[in-house]
Amino acid sequence: MAQDGIGASTKRREDYRFLKGIGKYTDDINQPNQTYCYFLRSPVAHAKIGKVDLSVAKSAPGVVAIFTAADLEAVGGVPCGWLITGKNAQPMKEPKHPILAAGKVRHVGDPVVAVIAESLNAAKNAADLVSIDYQELPAIIDMRTAQTKGGEPVHTEATDNMCFDWEFGDKAATDAAFAKAAHVTKIDLVNQRLVANAMEPRAAVGVYEIGTDEHTLFTTSQNPHVIRLLMGAFVLSIPEHKLRVVAPDVGGGFGSKIFHYAEEAFVTWAAKKVGRPIKWTAERSESFVSDAHGRDHVTHAELAIDANGKMLALRCDTFANMGAYLSTFAPVVPTWLHGTLLAGQYAYPAIYVNVKAMFTNTVPVDAYRGAGRPEATYIIERIVSKAARELKLDQAEFRRMNFIRKDQFPYQTPVALVYDVGDYEASMQAALKLGDYAGFPARKAASAAKGMMRGIGVCSYIEACGIAPSSLVGALGARAGLYEAATVRVNPTGSVSVMTGSHSHGQGHETTFAQVVASKLGIPAENVNIIHGDTDKIPFGMGTYGSRSLAVGGSAIVGALNKIIDKGKKIAAHLLEASEGDIEFKDGAYTVKGTDKKKTFGEIALTAYVPHKYPIDTVEPGLEETSFYDPKNFTYPAGTYICEVEIDPRTGTTVITSFVAADDFGNIINPMIVEGQVHGGLVQGIGQAMLEGAIYNDKGQLVTGSYMDYCMPRADDVPSFKVVTTVTPCTHNPLGVKGCGEAGAIGSTPAVINAICDALDIDNIEMPATPERVWRAAHAKTMKAAE
């Protein structure tokens, strides 16, 4: 293994700047002569906008300009990146999402007026002087009744508030399987609304250079090229060569910073209007009502099982909340990222899923860590545990009975996906061992002796990552390709700069990608620099989400490296006076097969830039290559998690006494970073299971709009973890990697709820399973027993 190459737990190079407080996040960027923007947002969920009086505000001290929707008539709406086609070939309803609310406000937090001033305080003070006449309308909040509620719909384009009614799978085969089932398990699940809450609030700085007619946007994004494309082409009509988008250090994303948001388009547009740079930074309470939320599904599911305990079919009906407008990838989350994952790790023949996506007067909902896959996993892993309980089978054993076997890969699921490889038994066994599953009954008895209720929960998740083959997603409605690009520039003295379209906002790409390059070129990792996040520096990029950076972005880097190595062979052949076919590249040197003639990589690099003795007739000077990599399939990380809880029935307090994760991410570049990704994901999933939830009242007020009411997991809420990996390398990408960013958040939620249900010996409990809910469930049992 090359030192600091593939497989080493190399310490992160990013850490130094973050630890010293000299990272550069968007709000740290200041421009000469900068102004500040404040958005006046709707305080009500649904209203017609009557008279807007700006006259007093306009003359307030420090005000530079004030804009409303009337000023933005020539500007496009925020576009949606995915078209879903529902039943009977009906395209989804796609109402316009204006930059500033036009005519109507549709959720609390909808921006109505933008005030630009010399200071943030001046902007806020002036905003206080704006008067807006809101003619309130009844709010549509509950998606289950949105279709029939009557009254004014969220959008006139969707009079029944339905965005689409989508179905997938083989309904006839599923019905037939249910007809012959020996046992049917049914469950009703709420996958509650969450707020991503990256610790860095969104921010944007817009700059316009009149001399060159160039726009620059600094923004908190996971994918600056996607923002350039969407904002340039669909909103502001700025061609790519006049628009630079920079996503500098970004303080976490978890999906919420994928999407194109109105505020970043506005500051880009307005910077030209006012002729000065404009900065906007969200306050946390603003983030709560303007960052896209996650999850928010309500599902009824049924599982058909034969007399031998074999799963036969799954049927699901889901309501998915789109919120008030379609966010960038909102429609794909409850459909193709959800329905296709319902086979889980199990070999069973029939699945049918129906999803009704609804508009409501709430913040738009879009991808949040896992995006559709956590929702699917929650359904399958909850219903499987419930079925095992009903059939009086061990929950691990019931899963194993139904696993896709190692010899069945590649495995065609009934919901379109082809799993290339996996070994579910291996990760199950690793988890059972690490969690001492066999010792659980004794621990349960010990807890019971203390008056405590102990439970164990298993979850065997699968996800589809490495998003995604372009032609496939194109057929499914994506309005873009999902390849990735990379340029590898070998500098004359042999150091290497890599420009990647992936974006790191905590994942540590600067370290891991350098490890890949070091291993492939046989050079020290310290000689490699990873550059990302700036459309002026990077050839192109689709960015980071869906655990795609290494599987897709890393593959593009490998593609470019292979071209570099091949070009080097031509140069080496010339220098070593051998035929190209006889040149081998290994450990940082080109050799002639069977001889000791050799040239180091550094010598070849120098020759490429000082081509005195050089095959100049056939090979161009220089050593720089670009590669675009389009994945051949999704990757399928999978694993088993086991959670053990102890509940105090007197208080309803649940303590996670043990949590083990056994994941198969394929090959691993940096085990330390992979473990860190798993830890973080686990806590997000545990947060959903036990603490977090965005709650709207029936007027459409977000009553969990700050950290006072939205319960973020803190250090004393969660345990330490035991994490292991098992490995079946991905078969279709050059590094054999699958991706590890989302697994923890996908697999942990059902594991925790399964454990709590097991402890309480109940069928279901609503999330978050707060002490109150747990206490009530525990108490209901005792009360019933007493009757």
Kindly state whether residue 699 participates in binding another protein, applying the rule CB under 8 A. Answer: no
Query: What is the smallest separation between the CB atom of 218 and another protein, expressed in angstroms?
Result: 13
Query: What is the smallest separation between the CB atom of 176 and ligand FES, expressed in angstroms?
Result: 49
Kindly state whether residue 11 participates in binding another protein, applying the rule CB under 8 A. Answer: yes
Three-state helix/strand/coil letters over 689-753 = HHCCCCCECCCCCECCCCCCCCCCCCHHHCCCCEEEECCCCCCCCCCCECCCCCHHHHHHHHHHH
Kindly state whether residue 148 participates in binding another protein, applying the rule CB under 8 A. Answer: no
CA angle, residues 185, 146, 709, in degrees to nearest 5: 80
Cβ distance to another protein smaller for residue 10 or 147:
10
Angstrom distance (rounded) from CA 744 to CA 638: 10
Task: Mark the segment that binds another protein (CB under 8 A) among 25-33, 210-218, 259-267, 585-593.
Answer: 25-33
Phi, psi of 445 (to 5 degrees): -65, -40
Angstrom distance (rounded) from CA 488 to CA 405: 40
Query: What is the smallest separation between the CB atom of 745 and another protein, expressed in angstroms?
Result: 10
CA 75 to chain centre: 29
Angstrom distance (rounded) from CA 253 to CA 120: 25
Kindly state whether residue 22 participates in binding another protein, applying the rule CB under 8 A. Answer: yes
Kindly state whether residue 128 participates in binding another protein, applying the rule CB under 8 A. Answer: no
Kindly state whether residue 14 participates in binding another protein, applying the rule CB under 8 A. Answer: yes
DSSP 8-class letter at 437 = G
What is the pairing mode between strands 496-500 and 528-531?
parallel
Kindly state whether residue 675 participates in binding another protein, applying the rule CB under 8 A. Answer: yes
In the list ligand FES, another protein, none, the entry touching 553 (Cβ below 5 to 8 angstroms by class) is none
Task: Mark the segment that binds another protein (CB under 8 A) among 224-232, 279-287, 445-453, 536-544.
Answer: 279-287
Task: Mark the segment that binds another protein (CB under 8 A) among 282-290, 297-305, 350-358, 645-653.
Answer: 282-290
Residue number of the CB closest to ligand FES reads 199
Provide long-range contacts, Cβ within 8 A and 24+ apart, for 593-596.
none
User: In 3-state terms, what secondary structure has residue 71?
Assistant: helix
Residues making contact with ligand FES (CB under 6 A)? 199, 251-252, 506
Tell me which residues in 197-216 interact with another protein (CB under 8 A): 197-201
Cβ distance to another protein smaller for residue 435 or 676:
676
Angstrom distance (rounded) from CA 197 to CA 712: 9
Residue selected from 229, 523, 673, 690 as contacting another protein according to rule CB under 8 A: 673
In the list another protein, ligand FES, none, the entry touching 543 (Cβ below 5 to 8 angstroms by class) is none
In the list ligand FES, another protein, none, the entry touching 546 (Cβ below 5 to 8 angstroms by class) is none
Count of residues near another protein by CB under 8 A: 58
Q: Reply yes or no: is the peptide bond before residue 468 cis, omega within 30 of 0.
A: yes
In the list ligand FES, another protein, none, the entry touching 683 (Cβ below 5 to 8 angstroms by class) is another protein
Angstrom distance (rounded) from CA 220 to CA 282: 11
Cβ distance to ligand FES smaller for residue 377 or 504:
504
Q: H or E stretch including 555? A: helix 555-576
Are 624 and 488 within 8 A, CB to CB? yes
- Contacts with another protein, 726-755, as mask; x by CB under 8 A: ------------------x-----------
Tokens read off for 581: 């076919």
Angstrom distance (rounded) from CA 326 to CA 152: 18
Query: What is the smallest separation between the CB atom of 416 and ligand FES, expressed in angstroms?
Result: 35
Angstrom distance (rounded) from CA 573 to CA 576: 5
Cβ distance to another protein smaller for residue 460 or 507:
507
Cβ distance to another protein smaller for residue 176 or 718:
718
In the list another protein, ligand FES, none, the entry touching 714 (Cβ below 5 to 8 angstroms by class) is another protein
CB proximity list for 137: less than 8 A, separation 6 or greater: 46, 47, 48, 151, 152
Task: Mark the segment that binds another protein (CB under 8 A) among 372-380, 410-418, 593-601, 670-678.
Answer: 670-678
- Contacts with another protein, 103-122, as mask; x by CB under 8 A: ------------------x-
Torsion from C-alpha of 222, 223, 228, 231, nearest 10 degrees: -60
Burial 157-166 (b: 16+ CB within 10 A, else e): ebeebbbbbb
Tokens read off for 559: 């593609």
In the list another protein, ligand FES, none, the entry touching 132 (Cβ below 5 to 8 angstroms by class) is none
CA angle, residues 100, 101, 105, in degrees to nearest 5: 150
Kindly state whether residue 598 participates in binding another protein, applying the rule CB under 8 A. Answer: no
Are 322 and 153 within 8 A, CB to CB? no
Cβ distance to ligand FES smaller for residue 210 or 715:
715
Residue selected from 183, 679, 699, 781 as contacting another protein according to rule CB under 8 A: 679
CA distances from 238 to 213, 215, 537 (A): 10, 8, 18
Kindly state whether residue 283 participates in binding another protein, applying the rule CB under 8 A. Answer: yes
Tell me which residues in 466-505 interact with another protein (CB under 8 A): 505
Query: What is the smallest separation between the CB atom of 672 and another protein, expressed in angstroms?
Result: 5
Q: Which residues sit at the interface with another protein, rule CB under 8 A?
A: 11-12, 14-25, 27-28, 30, 121, 197-201, 249-252, 254, 283-285, 505-508, 672-673, 675-677, 679-684, 706-708, 712-716, 718, 720-721, 744
